[in-house]
Amino acid sequence: MILHHSFELSLPPGEAFRLLLDVPRVATCIPGATLEPAANGVYRGAVAVKVGPLDLVFRGDAVLAEANEAARTAVVRGRGTDEKGRGSAQAVMTFALGEVERRTRVDLTTDLVLSGAVAQYGRGQGVIQAVAAQFVAAFVANLEARIAGDAPAAPPPALSAFSLAWAVVKARLGRVWAAITSRGRPGGRPAADAERSPR
Amino acid sequence: MTNPTTGIGAAVERIEDDRLLRGGGRYLDDLELPGLVHAAFVRSEHAHARVLGVDATAARQLSGVAAVFTTDDFPQASRGKRMPQTAPIPALTAAVSTMHALATDEVCFVGEPVAIVVAASRAIAEDAAALVAVSYEVLPAVTDPRRALAADAPRVRAAAPDNRAGRFAAKFGDIEAAFAGAARVIDLEVESHRGGGHSMEGRGAIAAVEAYSGKVTLWTSTQLPHTVRRHLAAHLGLEEPQVRVVAPDVGGGFGPKGIFYAEELALVLAARALGRPVKWVEDRREHFLASVQQRDQAWTLQVAVDPDGAVRGVRARGTNDCGAYLLYGLLLPLTTVVQFPGPYRWGALELELDCVFTNLTPTSPVRGAGRPYANFVIERAMDAVARTLGLDRAAVRARNMIPDDAYPYETGMRTPAGVPIKYDSGSSRACLDRLLEDAGWAGFGERQRAARESGRYIGLGLACYVEDGGIPPFEGATVRVLPSGTVLVRSGAASQGQGHATIFAQIVCEVLGVPLAQVMTEAADTDAIPRGVGTLGSRIAVTAGSSVAKAAEAVRDKAIAFAAAHVGVAAEGLEIVEGAVVVRGAPARRMKLAEIAAFLNGSAGVPIRPGFEPGLEATAFFPVPAPTYSNGSVAVEVEVDAATGAVRVAECWFVHDCGRMLNPLLVEGQLVGGIVHGLGNALLERMVFDREGQPLSTNYGEYLLPGATDVPRFHLRHIETASTRNPLGVKGVGESGTIPTPAAVISAVEDALSVHGAVFDRHPLSPEDVLAATGCLQDPGKAVRPDERRREASTALHPETAR
Amino acid sequence: MSDAVRIDLTVNGRAMGGAAEPRTHLADFLRQELRLTGTHLGCEHGVCGACTVIVDGRPVRACLLLAVQAAGCEVTTVEGLAALDGPLGDLQAAFRRRHALQCGFCTPGMLMTLAALAAAQPDADEAEVRAALSGNLCRCTGYAPIIAAALDVLEARRASSAT
Amino acid sequence: MKPAPFVYHAPRDRSSAVSLLGSLPNAKVLAGGQSLVPMLNMRYAAPDHVIDLNRVAGLAGVRIDEHAVEIGAMTRQVDLLESSELARRLPLVAAALRHVGHVQTRSRGTIGGSLCHLDPAAELPLVALVSDATLTAAGPRGERSIPAAEWARGFMAPALAPDEILVSIRFDLRGASGYGFHEFARRHGDFAIVAAAVLIELDGERVARARAALGGVGPTALRLGALEAALRGQQASRVGEVIGPALAALEPVADAYYGARYRRHLARVLAERAMRDAIGRAREAPR
């Protein structure tokens, strides 16, 4: 499935671009990610995601497939297979950076393909999208934290992605949500929930 | 008749049931063998990929694992060969159309077997399967059959020139003239969705190889033991007597068990290599991934009509989704084509059906085979004609129907061999007329108006069908009187629950007058009878039933001749009564079949009476020249909840003619079961794949089979017009219920919502489709398809929409 | 691999026992360890009902109950509905009379669900019978004869208990 | 389709259950098992340890007093359904239970298991939410109460710490005078596509207090606070006019089978039906 996410980083595009190309640093901002040093441009590692009752660990590799300094676009290809044989994930992530008031707007397009048992659950389809959105939101929050200087000593723990999915939907719906639930937090930041989430 | 209470036509209880009701059935998974080990398959998780490598090191090291086989671990002779096609036909154009026992370098659907793991238990085999690391290079997949032939479509198999599996074309009459002179030309687009067989018992097999003789035995939950043996022997380079295939009790077939599967071959190769019997029992997820399914068919139609609704000509162009491979052949689309006109006669027809490959689960006949889709297209057209011309739906059908005095009737269609399709006998019009009475068709409009005044939406729909049954070539039977007097019937006619043993016993009882309890049947063991085909296409009553009758009559004649010689009475003076040959008029003078059997079995030193072959038995094969044609009409009453889109099927009237009925109880069982299968196709059973070809419906919480709360009240009526093509006068009935039901249900829902001008062009019909047609959804229009729903979902969750 | 544990229970009125891994569900334990193969597995994810057995008086899905959880329980399977050498029970006879089985694979589950229903709700009407059967899938019969057989038995039992 | 291997634990008392849960890595709690065991069989879930609560003393049973009903987490759904007292005091729960699975799953399924599994379309979390129930969890630091509104942290994620178990759920009986429950599923016993639960208190012909929630529209059940506010003080005969607008902004999560648009439509239809029933019952309710 094709996913579109956009976010802003409090850095000028030039620096933001260099940061995003620094895979080892960026990896420390990916929830539940562990990364081994690169061997000729290929990074091996794993990403742990808790999907409701499922604890998945996708182990695989990632490469920086393209980087166009001038156009400030980059393509990262990643793939991973669940350790317990429940399927695999492939993602082609295309970053396009642009400037907004000395900050950087990042348009991220992800072509995500899930395969195997994890993908074969029609009732879960919609929520997978919510998770992806949440995953990016948490990633951005961690990235911002790093930009702000409080670099995490260790990679962030695997967040219970699904346990946060709802927060994202709420955030997305913003006031609309407030209108419906009278409990929504307009503009509420998923990341705020990320810190409060169990495990 | 000899035996009105238990012979042909009697509604006797089944002799199979006692054992099954006590839990005494012996299905594949109930069989045990010394040294048995258990298999699990590693299956492709991609719809299309190149297999770069398989690493089974970790799996092989797991305690309890006997072996892991990839294609490289099989003998070259097998590795090089693709699976045989169960029934190839000329219309097939693709060079490569089947898979290997295990994938070699490419996988073409999710679930294609890549490796087989053999271990001490199924659980351990699954533990190990999860440890087998397969590296894939994912390739683009074809998942929309309607786009499969596009120039820019990816290839289902990387090496194939295109995605065409085959093509059918049919034509009769002067199509140009028919359209030139038409009052109206009606255009339609119609789709039938892929569903599955879903026998409650999945597939399964045990392969064993004898150490010295090398004889292969395969116990398998199949419909076609003899066919599987033929292909297995050919693949292994063995003579047929060196291969034995046995079908134990089989927990339902419905078509998908009428295939020689890669898993069966892989099991035999594994058993050979290990020198131990290997069992594999398909689990339900495997059934969703790798057992053949129905097809998607999409049709565009032009119908040229006269003002009175007479169809002058039909132009039809269709696409049939074969899935990734042709495990059977093109029988399903072929059946769609040759059955196309059903019970109707038109001036002219021009038809083309493209058969295409996709990277989805292979398709093949499921109950109804190609017929329900032809029926759905034609019956949608009949409703469209009625709607367009403002005519009554039943009247349009009657106007175009083959008259009951026109049989034998040539439809204008031909078999691939060029033989004209000729209906043997029929009563389509009588069935329709009787149905309209039974269902209160004339008075329904009034009931409908009254219901609407109280806010209820009820609708009545109908459909008419022809079912070709008793399909060629033949089936056979041996009837043998044992010294005890018990009559043994042996046949290749494997049963999946149809009650073959009971109808064979009824036929024997009719001819030899023995009680049912004295007839035992052994079917589905290739060692029990040399030749056979198997069970598909509603063929057993016709083919095997007639063989049993012929063999039993030969036994009767031999017994009478022997008794005549033995007691010195002319054969004309003798008859068979209750298992004994008796002198007409002097029933005290009798000779039991058991005694005759004992004489003819001989005893050492005593010569058998001159002129008689040993044994009181006969074997007969009944070759059928052409199918028989059953017919009938169904009406369905539904109530629609216009607020939720829920459809409740309330009543079902079914009037049909399957020739002479051997056992009405069993005929009704076949009908009702078939109708409910059709209800599932009409409303519930949706097999969803995503755009990468990943199946999303892989459990019974999501793929919805009809349940006890979903079935209507049934009103069945039988009309019996004997077939002229077999001595019993019987026809097929196993698929009659399934063929017209989807069309009738959709017609009924349309009727219920006619005030909204609802028109439906596909099944299954989801409540969302129903609501969309009523315009009750905020954003009316055609209901979104599953893949569009996912697109909608993705935009609904698009983070930008939050800002 | 986890080790096998000893499991003792009562099946069809007889004390029985065997060993199984904790991951073994009751259906596999009955079939493989106790060789009572009348209980069938149709989906193994708790929808089709073919594996229905009665545990401590309640119908349960034997594929969703670990065998170790059934230790000490009273289990009734289809083999317990009639003595091997005796006549069929009333439900079984009604199934035969109504042709309520074809391939017979779902039948044991259907029988056990109905046996439990007849005991718990002797006055069940057609709607209640259908609801009770909604947890059992059958692909052969179309359910109508199964529903009819169940109603026959309920009525006959009511009649006999009334006299 | 056999589960991956795991170590089985059957603690007899609460504290050992909690300490096992706290000490064992990758452990799952087994209650009724009607949701967990299918996931084990299909290997979606592959825990190293399974902690079975079925032999833990004191987790099952119903306590009814004047103002509240307290239900032990391990109380079987069938026992709740068969309790005429519960049907009288908690008719909404009884009504919802009739939609939960099938007779064979209710024989084993527990109220606590359903609340912890937290399927987005499940009935019991929905009625707990609309009833402002209070859940009690036990952990190494003793017990704590969790309001139903804070129970669902997201998709199938209850607000339990990794070393906590749910021990009971308490329904306050005060002021729930009329109830309504409607769900739409394709077949009897299926997961609802959308479900709606409503509680109404009337003051004469005016709505004194309305509580409403939906299942099946998002990753968790959804309380309709804005609708409740809009209904306060409304003429009972005119609530229908309020529901549509209040739900117009709802953006349900679609799945492979049913779209967001259809779920939004169902939400309105079922909410209206549940509301109508609730008002009808409130009118009949003794004052």
Same domain, B535 and B664: no
Same domain, C65 and C123: no
Given a cut of 80, is residue D269 above it in pLDDT? Answer: yes
Report if residue B3 sits inside a domain: no
Q: What is the pLDDT of residues B628-675, one digit of tens each?
A: 999 999 999 999 999 999 999 999 999 999 999 999 999 999 999 999
Same domain, C95 and C64: no
Q: What is the pLDDT of residues B525-562, one digit of tens each?
A: 999 998 888 888 888 889 999 999 999 999 999 999 99
Query: Is the CA virtual torsion B445, B447, B453, B459 positive or negative?
Result: negative
Q: Please enumerate in sequence order all residues whose Cβ is within 8 A of that of B573, keeping only pairs 6 or more positions apart, or say none.
A: B564, B583, B584
Nearest to D220 among A117, A166, A179 (CB): A166
Final residue in a domain of this structure, among C54, C81, C108? C81
What pLDDT, on a 0 to 100 scale, did the predictor assign at position A123? 85
The pLDDT mean for chain A works out to: 76
Closest alpha carbon to D97 in D135, D63, D71: D71
Read off the pLDDT of each residue in B211-219 and give the average, rounded to a whole number.
Answer: 95
pLDDT band at A156; cut points 50, 70, 90: low
Same domain, C76 and C13: yes
The Cα–Cα gap between B117 and B279 comes to 11
Task: Say if the Cβ atoms of C64 and D10 lie within 8 Å.
Answer: no
Same domain, C137 and C74: no
What pLDDT, on a 0 to 100 scale, did the predictor assign at position B3? 65
Can you give the CATH number for the domain in which C19 is found? 3.10.20.30
Q: What is the pLDDT of residues B66-88, one digit of tens each?
A: 999 999 999 998 888 999 877 77
Chains contacting A with at least 3 CB pairs below 8 Å? B, D
pLDDT band at A158; cut points 50, 70, 90: low
Given a cut of 60, is residue B366 above it in pLDDT? Answer: yes
Nearest to B777 among D5, D189, D265 (CB): D265
Task: Say if the Cβ atoms of A160 and D249 lie within 8 Å.
Answer: no
Same domain, C12 and C39: yes
Same domain, C69 and C131: no
Same domain, B651 and B787: yes
Q: Please enumerate in sequence order all residues whose Cβ is within 8 A of that of D138, keeping only pairs 6 or more positions apart, or say none.
A: D14, D18, D164, D165, D167
Closest alpha carbon to B349 in B174, B203, B499: B174
**Residue A16 in tokens:** 């933001």
- Provide the β-strand partners of residue D183: D195
Q: Tell me how long chain C is.
A: 163
Same domain, B493 and B632: no
The Cα–Cα gap between A182 and D226 comes to 6
Q: What is the pLDDT of residues D13-39, one digit of tens each?
A: 999 999 999 999 999 999 999 999 999
Same domain, C77 and C102: no
Percentage of chain B with pLDDT > 70? 96
Report if residue B750 sits inside a domain: yes
Final residue in a domain of this structure, among C81, C99, C128? C81
- Residue to test with chain C: of B15, B27, B200, B667, most C Cβ within 10 A: B200
Given a cut of 70, is residue A170 above it in pLDDT? Answer: no
Which is it for strands D49-52 and D27-30: parallel, antiparallel or unpaired? parallel
Read off the pLDDT of each residue in B300-320 and give the average, rounded to a whole number.
Answer: 98
What pLDDT, on a 0 to 100 scale, did the predictor assign at position A175? 34
Q: What is the pLDDT of residues C78-90, one digit of tens each?
A: 999 999 889 999 9
Same domain, C110 and C43: no
**Residue in chain D nearest A82 by alpha carbon:** D44
Same domain, B138 and B283: yes
Task: Say if the Cβ atoms of A1 and B697 lie within 8 Å.
Answer: no
Final residue in a domain of this structure, among B587, B620, B653? B620
CA distance A49 to chain D (A): 13
Write down the ipTM of this complex: 0.93
What is residue C12's DSSP assignment? T
**Residue in chain C nearest B284 by alpha carbon:** C43
The Cα–Cα gap between B549 and B728 comes to 8
Given a cut of 50, is residue D190 above it in pLDDT? Answer: yes
The pLDDT mean for chain B works out to: 93
Task: Say if the Cβ atoms of B799 and A113 lie within 8 Å.
Answer: no
Given a cut of 90, is residue B797 above it in pLDDT? Answer: no
Given a cut of 50, is residue B437 above it in pLDDT? Answer: yes
Same domain, B537 and B637: no
Same domain, C95 and C142: yes
- How would you write the pLDDT of chain C (163 residues) with one tens digit per residue? 468 999 999 999 999 999 999 999 999 999 999 999 999 999 999 999 999 999 999 999 999 999 999 999 999 999 999 998 899 999 999 999 999 999 999 999 999 999 999 999 999 999 999 999 999 999 999 999 999 999 999 999 999 998 7
Read off the pLDDT of each residue in B566-585 and give the average, rounded to a whole number.
Answer: 93
Q: Please enumerate in sequence order all residues whose Cβ is within 8 A of that of D206, keeping only pairs 6 or more positions apart, or say none.
A: D233, D234, D235, D236
Same domain, B587 and B675: no
Same domain, B585 and B696: no
Q: Does D touch B (3+ CB pairs < 8 Å)?
A: yes
Same domain, C94 and C157: yes
Question: Looking at beta carbons, which residues of chain A come within 8 Å of D42?
Answer: 117
Closest alpha carbon to C157 in C104, C93, C78: C93
Query: What total number of domains does chain B contain?
Result: 3
What pLDDT, on a 0 to 100 scale, did the predictor assign at position A157? 54
Rounded to 5°, the CA angle D121-D267-D154 comes to 40
**Range(s) of the domain holding residue B552:** 17-24+473-620
- Residue to test with chain D: of A135, A180, A196, most D Cβ within 10 A: A180
> Residue A162 is inside which H or E element, if any?
helix A161-181
Strand order of the β-sheet with B133-138 is B106-107, B49-55, B133-138
C44 touches chain D (CB under 8 A): yes
Can you give the CATH number for the domain in which C148 is found? 1.10.150.120
Same domain, B610 and B638: no
Question: Looking at beta carbons, which residues of chain D come within 8 Å of B126?
Answer: 1-2, 4, 43
Same domain, B775 and B683: yes
Given a cut of 60, is residue A161 above it in pLDDT? Answer: no
Nearest to D254 among A121, A126, A180 (CB): A126
Given a cut of 70, is residue B802 above it in pLDDT? Answer: no
Same domain, C157 and C128: yes
Task: Say if the Cβ atoms of A85 and B129 lie within 8 Å.
Answer: yes
Tell me: cis bond preceding B764? Omega within 30 of 0 counts. Answer: yes
C48 touches chain B (CB under 8 A): yes
Read off the pLDDT of each residue in B585-592 and give the average, rounded to a whole number.
Answer: 92
C-D CB pairs within 8 A amount to 89
CA distance B700 to chain D (A): 10
Closest alpha carbon to B492 in B536, B514, B524: B524
Given a cut of 80, is residue D169 above it in pLDDT? Answer: yes
Question: Looking at beta carbons, which residues of chain C come within 8 Å of B123?
Answer: 21, 23-24
Our measurement of the distance from residue B628's CA atom to the centroid of its chain's CA atoms, rounded to an integer in Å, reads 16
**Range(s) of the domain holding residue C147:** 90-162
Q: Are B483 and B598 in contact (CB under 8 A)?
A: yes
- Provide the β-strand partners of residue A89: A80, A114
CA distance D201 to chain A (A): 20
Same domain, B639 and B758: yes
Q: What is the pLDDT of residues D64-111, one digit of tens each?
A: 999 999 999 999 999 999 999 999 999 999 999 999 999 999 999 999
pLDDT band at A178; cut points 50, 70, 90: very low
The Cα–Cα gap between A158 and B631 comes to 63
Can you give the CATH number for the domain in which B237 is found? 3.90.1170.50
Final residue in a domain of this structure, among C48, C81, C114? C81
Dihedrals phi, psi of B609, to nearest 5 degrees: -50, 130
The pLDDT mean for chain D works out to: 95
Query: What total number of domains does chain C contain?
Result: 2
pLDDT band at A192; cut points 50, 70, 90: very low
Given a cut of 50, is residue B172 above it in pLDDT? Answer: yes
What pLDDT, on a 0 to 100 scale, did the predictor assign at position C3? 84
Same domain, C40 and C106: no
A90 touches chain B (CB under 8 A): yes
pLDDT band at A133; cut points 50, 70, 90: confident
C108 touches chain D (CB under 8 A): no
Nearest to A166 among D219, D223, D251 (CB): D219
Given a cut of 70, is residue B441 above it in pLDDT? Answer: yes
Task: Say if the Cβ atoms of C38 and B499 lie within 8 Å.
Answer: no
Report if residue B334 sits inside a domain: no
Can you give the CATH number for the domain in which B742 is found? 3.30.365.10
C137 touches chain B (CB under 8 A): yes
Same domain, B691 and B603: no
Same domain, B120 and B238: yes
Rounded to a whole number, what is the largest CA-CA distance in chain B? 105
Report if residue B351 sits inside a domain: no
- Residue to test with chain C: of B20, B199, B502, most C Cβ within 10 A: B20
Q: Are B548 and B479 in contact (CB under 8 A)?
A: yes
Report if residue B431 sits inside a domain: no
What pLDDT, on a 0 to 100 scale, did the predictor assign at position A51? 76
Given a cut of 50, is residue B1 above it in pLDDT? Answer: no
Nearest to D265 among B699, B778, B797 (CB): B778
